Structure 1
Amino acid sequence: MRNIPTRHTAGRTIGGAVAALSLITLTACGGDSGSESTGAAEKLGENEGEVSILAWPGYVEDGSTDPEVDWVSGFEKETGCQVTSKVYGTSDEAFNLAKSGEYDVVAASGDLTLRMIAAGQAAEVNTDLIPNYEGIYDFLKDREWNTVDEKNYGIPHGYGANLLMYNTKDVTPAPTSWKAVFEDAPKHKGQVTAYDSPIYIADAAVYLMAHQPDLGIENPYSLDEKQLAAAVDLLKAQRTSVGEYWSDYTKTQASFETGDTVVGTTWQVIANLIDPKKAPVEAILPSEGATGWNDTWMISSKSKSPNCAYAWLNHISDPEVNAQATEYFGEAPNSDKACEFASEGHCETFHAGDEEYAKKIWFWNTPINDCLDGRTDVECTDYQDWTKAWAEIKG
């Protein structure tokens, strides 16, 4: 949408500082830093009557998809802020859409947040103005993808891992490693799937961390030229076995159900949606760990309705609303209180609040030239380099 315990500890102390030092570099790659104010609001005024939201599919539901799935109508009635929304399929698409300034609020994964901050597209958020912020899990707060130079740029929403899914009839013995989609991919040539984004390079890096330790990869989002080249070579080899790359999860669901795909990267929600009569599947967290998403609600620096934007951030962080939204999408909610409103077994399935499980996930982050793993003797590759590499991988 991903360790030994020291991984994320290092990320908090090193990654955040490095991110602050690298904003100029990211801005050069990401576009106009803008002239809008990115400072935090000190107080709130009257709601403007409308709010425009850019989000992943399933994050802003008003009952039009399913009458039973609606956390927008109550918000509109309570606040007077009428919601318009647009969905996107990848973080790259969202970044380009956010540049327009048409959206007040953006739901962003970690491979988007720093780019928005660097480009001056995100406003600092005063969490004191969001009452529901206090109840959010502490391990989701003040992370390198939502906080820069001790300034918060958003509110944690939900999180999950990019899992390995396989058809239990066609893929035997049951895999326990990402080897199933790399070294063993030729066994299922044409029936392997992978996420269609440059950030998927990090998945290859996670595998190489475990199986080629001599490369010295300590953070899958912090790759020097040699390490990036190794990940690219692995993904080029995989490419010959990939039937399709996916960004629309409904399409990969259908591909598994038709048998066109039998193994590949997935989200838990996809595994939940697949009809077991059409395709018996299992989704696992492999032995190497995984990448994952930890999404953040951000306010645009160009927001025309900042008061309604703050109202939305508080609303979507309400435990009952957050439980409904994260369960519908298929991810862990952001608080223990939300689990009290979730369906039985949901929080257990998604390991909500389980910090040890979360330590096995390398949550999406934005690759930058200043190495996120703390190295200063080498320059790391940035997201622009990864974008070029991804085009090369896909041919």
Structure 2
Amino acid sequence: MNLNYSSRRMTAGSARRSAALAAVAVASIAVLTACGTTSGSAGPTTAADEVGAGEGQVSILAWPGYVEDGSNDPTVDWVTAFEEDTGCEVTSKTYGTSDEAFSLMKTGEYDVIAASGDASLRLVAAGDVAPVNTDLIPNYDGIYDFLKMQSWNSVDGKSYGIPHGYGANLLMYNTDVVSPAPTSWDVVFDKSSPYAGKITAYDSPIYIADAAVYLMTHQPELGIENPYALDETQLAAAVDLLKGQRANVGEYWSDYLKEIQAFETGDSVVGTTWQVIQNSVTTGNTAVVLPDEGATGWSDTWMIGSEAKNPNCAYEWLNYIASPEANAQATEYFGEAPSNEAACEFRTEGSCEAFNAGDEEFASKLWYWSTPIEKCLDGRTDVTCTDYSQWTAAWSEIKG
């Protein structure tokens, strides 16, 4: 199917973001619970010490829009240059949900996967991905430091992948209706919000983390240190907040094409969004803000399969896709900030500014998606945290 640049990017983005927040399979949660940790003890614990001659091929599993070879759009192709430079022929498969990706990686048929934060820790815990020796990836040096060695791409001091792109879940509002301009998430979480009925919220259990970010500021006595590490009391507080919000929500969205339409028609006037959505609204009466409380966000990771049949070409791919030129093409096409600092030199003028690329202060206010597990991600050992299966059950209760 051939699509123009704009519609293709939105198709990929809408499928990917909806999928990234789909309910986590019970089996996946069981893996994390059984491990009791994300040490990756079920798989290899050491990374490669050298990159040898390429095997002539590499198999990649990725979100739509991440491995483009010109077959979807002849003007969009960063795979061919890789094949010509390395001699590694790329075969790729796209997936629609993180659960699907998790299952596919268990087959051992894929050398490389592009994983979101709601899948990466599961892959490590199940032993399906291997540690990555970043010394063998020259372009790793160019990646923003604030994306390196984070909880969603490293475990026990070991890197499990290379950051790709990142973005924030921002607050969008109709400038004709919402006044004064909001600076807090209270416009969507306050029960007495004047915009009741025209508030929109993200339709996923992971949205509980957005409520937790709000509570970190407004109910500090709860002691929330990480919105993905909630004990039962903290989860209950977030659920109560979201139940109170439910009456004011006009629409929950997961397909961002529908959110664009809702803001253009005026059915929605304020709610959670992505920068690419605001960029796509045609009515010219919307703005976005990163609220004072901060926000959730995403940062994707390129990882190598623990059973990779072509590990040398896999390392070649991780180095190539982290290069300024390739990282620029892939992240701009998809609609997110690049991970390589020099990538902005190869993107359309103003593109990096639109996505706050490289703004470390901006990035420091984001809590990137991570899979909630029983082992508290905030380091607490005196309590058991709630896992994603509990969040899924809570979300069903919130939605009614």
- Give TM class, smaller chain: 0.7 to 0.9
Mean Cα deviation higher: 198-207 or 377-386: 377-386
- Structure 2 unmatched ranges of 5 or more: 1-12, 14-28
Mean Cα deviation higher: 373-382 or 114-123: 373-382
Pick one of 252, 259, 272 that aligns with 1:245.
252
Deviation at 1:38, TM superposition (A): 5.7
- Structure 1 unmatched ranges of 5 or more: 2-21
Counterpart of 1:41 in structure 2 is: 48
Counterpart of 1:217 in structure 2 is: 224
Give SS of 1:392's match. Answer: helix
Counterpart of 2:293 in structure 1 is: 288
Counterpart of 2:130 in structure 1 is: 123
- 2:262 and 2:306 mapped to 1: Cα distance? 39
Counterpart of 2:168 in structure 1 is: 161
2:129 aligned partner, one-letter code: A
- 2:41 and 2:156 mapped to 1: Cα distance? 19
The answer as to 2:392 corresponding to 1:390 is: no
The answer as to 2:310 corresponding to 1:302 is: no
8 A contact 2:296–2:367 mirrored in 1: yes
The answer as to 2:380 corresponding to 1:375 is: yes
- 2:34 and 2:58 mapped to 1: Cα distance? 27
Figure out how many residues of one structure are paired with residues of the other and give that number. 372
The answer as to 2:246 corresponding to 1:234 is: no
Q: Give me the TM-score of the superposition, normalised by structure 2.
A: 0.83
Change (3 A) 1:52 1:354: same
- 2:268 and 2:47 mapped to 1: Cα distance? 47
- 1:248 and 1:79 mapped to 2: Cα distance? 37
Counterpart of 1:77 in structure 2 is: 84
The answer as to 2:373 corresponding to 1:336 is: no
2:73 aligned partner, one-letter code: D
Counterpart of 2:329 in structure 1 is: 324
Counterpart of 1:58 in structure 2 is: 65
8 A contact 1:154–1:299 mirrored in 2: yes
Superimposed CA distance per residue, residues 156-210 of structure 1 (whole angstroms, 9 cap, x where no aligned partner): 1122211111222343332221122222586445543322332221100001111
1:275 aligned partner, one-letter code: T
Deviation at 1:35, TM superposition (A): 7.0
Mean Cα deviation higher: 312-321 or 91-100: 91-100
The answer as to 2:191 corresponding to 1:208 is: no
- 1:391 and 1:29 mapped to 2: Cα distance? 26
Change (3 A) 1:134 1:124: same
Pick one of 137, 140, 149 that aligns with 1:133.
140
Change (3 A) 1:296 1:186: same
Deviation at 1:336, TM superposition (A): 2.4
Change (3 A) 1:195 1:343: same
Pick one of 68, 71, 74 that aligns with 2:75.
68
Counterpart of 1:13 in structure 2 is: none
- 1:254 and 1:89 mapped to 2: Cα distance? 23
Identical columns (%) = 68
8 A contact 1:90–1:197 mirrored in 2: no
Counterpart of 1:171 in structure 2 is: 178
The answer as to 2:106 corresponding to 1:99 is: yes
Change (3 A) 1:67 1:30: farther
Superimposed CA distance per residue, residues 223-246 of structure 1 (whole angstroms, 9 cap, x where no aligned partner): 110100111122223233434433
Superimposed CA distance per residue, residues 375-394 of structure 1 (whole angstroms, 9 cap, x where no aligned partner): 33322212232222223323
8 A contact 2:62–2:92 mirrored in 1: yes
- 2:120 and 2:218 mapped to 1: Cα distance? 30
Counterpart of 1:193 in structure 2 is: 200
Deviation at 1:92, TM superposition (A): 4.0
8 A contact 2:37–2:375 mirrored in 1: no
Superimposed CA distance per residue, residues 343-372 of structure 1 (whole angstroms, 9 cap, x where no aligned partner): 222333323222222211112222222323
- 1:105 and 1:164 mapped to 2: Cα distance? 34
8 A contact 2:111–2:311 mirrored in 1: yes
2:370 aligned partner, one-letter code: N
